[in-house]
Structure formats: structure tokens, C-alpha cells
Chain A
Amino acid sequence: GQGVEQPDNLMSVEGTFARVNCTYSTSGFNGLSWYQQREGHAPVFLSYVVLDGLKDSGHFSTFLSRSNGYSYLLLTELQIKDSASYLCAVRDDTNAYKVIFGKGTHLHVLP
């Protein structure tokens, strides 16, 4: 069916890396974005991609494969404060540019 899917939880260790996966199936595609959300706060925009490949933004990098309906957010040199939920969202250009969010992946960074 149509939608954006993410695993519920992910654990990783401080100083290493974490890859947060996102798969999507939508009628149209006009970009994919990633957000960080802490408990009780609003999501904060991290990255936006519309072309295939890896976009390196330092601590956060984003990969997109449109043919596979797949993206990931890569966090490197993890810190405890990176523990948060990470949300993936797709803009559907066949539906008045509706933005559809996944439920988010809760990343736990262990010491």
C-alpha cells in the first residue's frame, strides 16, 4: 500500500554510527526529507534530497534511491545527545504536494 515505513527502534554505541532506514511507496515523488524529534518537542528539519545518491552534511548524511523507494539517514561519531526519534517524510507531487511522514525510528545511543 501507499505510505512511508521506518523501523520502530534502533540501538547503537557512542562514538560509532547509526543508519536509520526508510522505505516509501507513493503515487508521486517530489523529494524526501529527514527530521529529528525529541520527546515533547516539534520535529526539526535535518535534510532534504530529491536526486539519487549520497548527500554528505557532516554529522548527518542522507542517501536516496528513487528506483527502490529507499532512503537512509546516516549519523556518524554518535553522541549520547543523538538519542531521539528520526522521521522520514515524502512529498507526493501527484497529490497537491502532500507531505507524508513515517512513524519515526527511536534511536538509542548507548555509552
Chain B
Amino acid sequence: EAAVTQSPRNKVTVTGGNVTLSCRQTNSHNYMYWYRQDTGHGLRLIHYSYGAGNLQIGDVPDGYKATRTTQEDFFLLLELASPSQTSLYFCASSGTGGVYFGPGTRLTVL
């Protein structure tokens, strides 16, 4: 069965800390996405990619970097974490139809 996995599932860090969120998909999809979800804002697109080595800027990219190392793997990097980045982060993949989500990572920045 096609799947999107994320790690870690929960993460607590301090202000100024360095965090990497990992995502792997086995859907053979070209597109991968990183979203954050906060109450009152819905899902907001941070970065996305349509293949290994490609990166597209989303709607809320400030404070985030991303890298797509292979078709399967997409990473989100927070190099100087801030409390405003406390959120639920979803990775997702898609082909030409719907978007399939990972289980999410809950990040808390103290």
C-alpha cells in the first residue's frame, strides 16, 4: 500500500535550536509538500518539490529550508527555531490526482 511516513512524530526544542523533519513516500509520486497546520489558519504550504533536487517556495517559507534528496525523501530544516514555529507539520505526496498525507509531526519550540 502506498504510504507517506514522517519522523520524528513529536519533537521539542528550544528557541534557536536546529531541527530536521524527515519524510519518505513510497507512492512513486513526483510531487512532495510540507505544510503546517495551526488553529484558525488551516493548512499552509511551506515548500514543495516536483522531483529530486527541485525546490519550490510555498506561501509561508520564512525560517524554513527544504531539500529533496531523492524521489522518496523530502526534508524540512529549521536552523534557528522560534516559538512561532510551534505547529503540526504534515508532509504529503501527489501524482496527478489527490494528495496523500503522512501522519504529522508535532513540533514544540520553547
Q: List residues of chain A with CB under 8 Å of any chain B CB.
A: 31, 33, 35, 41-48, 87, 89, 96-104
- Given the known interface contacts A42-B104, A98-B56, the answer about A48 and B45 at a Cβ–Cβ threshold of 8 Å is no
| B37 CB, nearest partner CB in chain A, Å | 9
Q: Is the interface of A mostly helix, strand, loop or mixed?
A: strand
Q: Does B101 contact A (CB under 8 A)?
A: yes
| B31 CB, nearest partner CB in chain A, Å | 6
| A interface footprint on B2-22 (CB within 8 Å = 1, 0 otherwise) | 000000000000000000000
Q: Is the interface of B mostly helix, strand, loop or mixed?
A: strand
| B7 CB, nearest partner CB in chain A, Å | 14
- The size class of the interface chain B forms with chain A is 20 to 34
| B15 CB, nearest partner CB in chain A, Å | 25
- A45–B50 touching, CB < 8 Å: no
Give Cα A35 to B97, complex, Å.
Answer: 12
- A48–B97 touching, CB < 8 Å: yes
- Top 8 A-B residue pairs of the complex, sorted by shortest distance between their CB atoms: A103-B42, A45-B98, A42-B101, A101-B43, A48-B97, A48-B98, A33-B98, A96-B56
Give Cα A104 to B98, complex, Å.
Answer: 16
- A102–B42 touching, CB < 8 Å: yes
> Can you name 11 extra interface pairs (CB under 8 A) apart from A43-B43, A45-B100, A98-B45?
A41-B104, A43-B99, A44-B101, A48-B97, A48-B98, A96-B48, A96-B56, A97-B50, A98-B48, A98-B58, A99-B94
Name the one of A33, A42, A98 contacting B102, with C-beta atoms under 8 angstroms.
A42
Interface hub of B33, B94, B100 (most chain A Cβ within 10 A) = B94
